[in-house]
Structure 1
Amino acid sequence: MLVTMEPRTTSALGDAERDLVDRARRGDRGAFERLVSEHVRHVWRVVWRIVRHDADAEDVVQEVFLAAWQGLAGYRGECAFTTWLHRIAVTRALNHVGRSGERLRRASRPIDAPAASDPDGEPLLARLADGGPSPLQALEARELLRRLADCVSRLPAAWRAVVALRDGESLAYEEIARVLDVALGTVRSRLARARFALKECMEAAAP
């Protein structure tokens, strides 16, 4: 089921998360593992939307949390922990894309297999029962998503990062600017260009 979320801004650390971060900074691996379990799903989404390949995303996510563990001593709470983690995720994902020479491989999946890029997903065939879309509608929707994924994969990596944070994670423009360490106008410009490119690509790919 698709859920529409309002753009959000990551807030300051809550008491529980602040305690986990403080304990992790002191070397408490259990506390850090709790942080990983709480954030791994959205880190995965951000990374995958940039690298566009399951196995590569898994490698990058591991790099992200290793870098976070090693860099916790330098985190002073000047921004939300999620912002700090997003920054690491985007940086590592963009570095990976650069190292791979924009190698955009696509893994094929059977129709009833949930995409690893959608941690909350469920098999397509399971969504066809009890008031769900007809098989034809579901297949048409899957084809539309396939074309969209192909078009997204053609975007420059820096544009994909903005799309991932805005349309994937529903971050506010100001928060995206903090994560990417760029001007607010740069965020708006990249997103506008990305959406225009996607529109043109989707129109060209339409049957």
Structure 2
Amino acid sequence: MAKPLQFDEAFSKAREGETEALGGLLETYRSYLRVLAASQISHRLGQRVSASDIVQDTMLAAHRDFGDFRGQSPEQFSAWLRVILSRNLFRAIERHMKADKRDVRREVSLDQVAGSVDSSAAGLANLLASDQSTASRIVSRGEETRRLVDLLVELPEHYQQVIMLRNFQNLRFDEVAQEMGRTATATRLLWLRALKKLRELYDAETPA
């Protein structure tokens, strides 16, 4: 299997009109977008909407509208994808609120959804950061943030779940415990083990 192109090379080829390069570039962001979508869907829409469906719609829209993107860096590209993701999430929320005969304008706005998505994206750095410099480094490097997500989705499912509930949904440990059917003490220990494993994976792939 061919090694995936680095961002700069893939982006340059995509700008030249190579659809395969654009498809490959977008594919490297699938896990990143899925984690962000899942962090919003679980507490807004429950099981009624699939994160994978939202992400697929986002990928298709990004492929279609790539010519409108004016940025150059991985950070700008990530931010652009988050805007598209936020719009798709908002439309899904809007559809389901209307189905429940609720006034979406009184409960949520596109700006609120976008802000929540950006907050989750920024929170990725805080998963591992023991100091501000580490957090800043991860946030400022779009490819590094994406790599962190790729490592996150490699974790066992219960590790992923406890991190999502605690770090992305900001639930208290007793609330996470209730969701997972564990005691609060067991949940806290599970969370610490999950972060430790993620740190080990991250450090193993990070140049000294």
Q: TM-score range by the shorter chain?
A: 0.3 to 0.5
Length-normalised TM-score, structure 2: 0.45
TM-score when normalising by structure 1: 0.45
- Higher relative contact order at CA 8 Å, sep ≥6: structure 1 or structure 2? 1
